[in-house]
Amino acid sequence: MIVLYFFIGFIATSIGAITGIGGGVIIKPVLDAIGTYDAGTVSTLSSATVFAMAAVSLLKKKRSKIELDWKVSSLLALGSTIGGISGKAIFNQLLEHIDNSDITLIQSSILVLLLGLILFNSLKKFRSFHMTAPFMIIVVGLVLGLLSAFLGIGGGPLNVAVLIFVFSMGIKDATINSILIIFFSQLSTLITIFFSTGFGIFDLSMIPYMIGGGVLGGYVGSILARRFGSGKVESLFNVTLIVIIMINVFTIGRVIF
């Protein structure tokens, strides 16, 4: 079990660091499909692992002196922090009032819908915009942070797709900003858990191994990302989306039937 959960964290965050999807969108459906833990524990394991990955990836990118548009990035970070707190609060409310299986069904269904739209947009390449209004940048960060915290996925593929569509970012810039959003949204998520339910109600025995895998994955993925061209990053992004959609469909079928 230790080896399994370490490699889930490692493989998910390695891919996540390369493509900007963060890893949580892989970890969450895989843990749901395995079915060992309840929805709250799965969400917490995913958030902690993805946060570790994002922290390592950002530190690695800082050392490589990659330039960011700090006006856009800081506003997105602000919005994603607010959104992360809001999304986790909504999740906690649902956790108190409906069954774990129903929460998993809701999350997986929303994920299939969102990922399907993202894949369609990625393949069709619709015309993008170039939004510059500060308030709207914050709103975009807020919505992305809220969805990532509620779904427990980090929000990576949604982040990348929206950043490309709304801000006309290239895949590499969208990847960096996505990881920045993931960092702040998951940090606020973990802080919210600490001050609301606390961590004691969850079975977090596997968290050291998943975080270890997440840290190593974030480091390895950041190195590999510099060697991948935009075309390869985009192809890996699309293939990963298809695999995640299939895993979520399996989970939905398992819960219903």
- Chain segment 65-121, per-residue pLDDT in tens: 556 667 887 888 888 889 888 888 888 888 888 888 888 888 889 889 988 888 887
Please tell me the number of Cα atoms within 13 Å of 229 on its side-chain side.
Answer: 2
Say if residues 50 and 155 touch (Cβ distance below 8 Å): no
pLDDT at 208 over 90: yes
Which one has a higher pLDDT value, 206 or 157? 206
Q: What gap in Å lies between CA 105 and CA 25, rounded to an integer?
A: 15
User: What's the confidence (pLDDT) of residue 61?
Assistant: 67
Q: What is the band of 6 on the pLDDT scale with cuts at 50, 70, 90?
A: very high
Say if residues 13 and 223 touch (Cβ distance below 8 Å): no
User: What's the confidence (pLDDT) of residue 209?
Assistant: 94
User: What's the confidence (pLDDT) of residue 68?
Assistant: 64
Of 68, 63, 61, 57, nearest to 12 (Cα)? 57
User: What's the confidence (pLDDT) of residue 178?
Assistant: 79
Total Cβ atoms within 10 A of residue 127: 6
With tokens 């997986």, the residue in question is 108
Q: What gap in Å lies between CA 160 and CA 90, rounded to an integer?
A: 23
pTM, entire model: 0.76
User: What's the confidence (pLDDT) of residue 155?
Assistant: 63
Q: What is the DSSP string of the chain?
A: -HHHHHHHHHHHHHHHHHHS-TTHHHHHHHHHHHT-S-HHHHHHHHHHHHHHHHHHHHHHHHHTT----HHHHHHHHHHHHHHHHHHHHHHHHHHHHS-HHHHHHHHHHHHHHHHHHHHHHHHHTPPP-----HHHHHHHHHHHHHHHHHHTS--HHHHHHHHHHHH---HHHHHHHHHHHHHHHHHHHHHHHHHTT-STTS--TTHHHHHHHHHHHHHHHHHHHHHS-HHHHHHHHHHHHHHHHHHHHHHHHHHH-
Mean predicted lDDT score pLDDT of the chain: 83
Q: Across residues 174-196, what is the average pLDDT?
A: 82
Total Cβ atoms within 10 A of residue 223: 14
With tokens 């709304």, the residue in question is 166
pLDDT at 172 over 70: yes
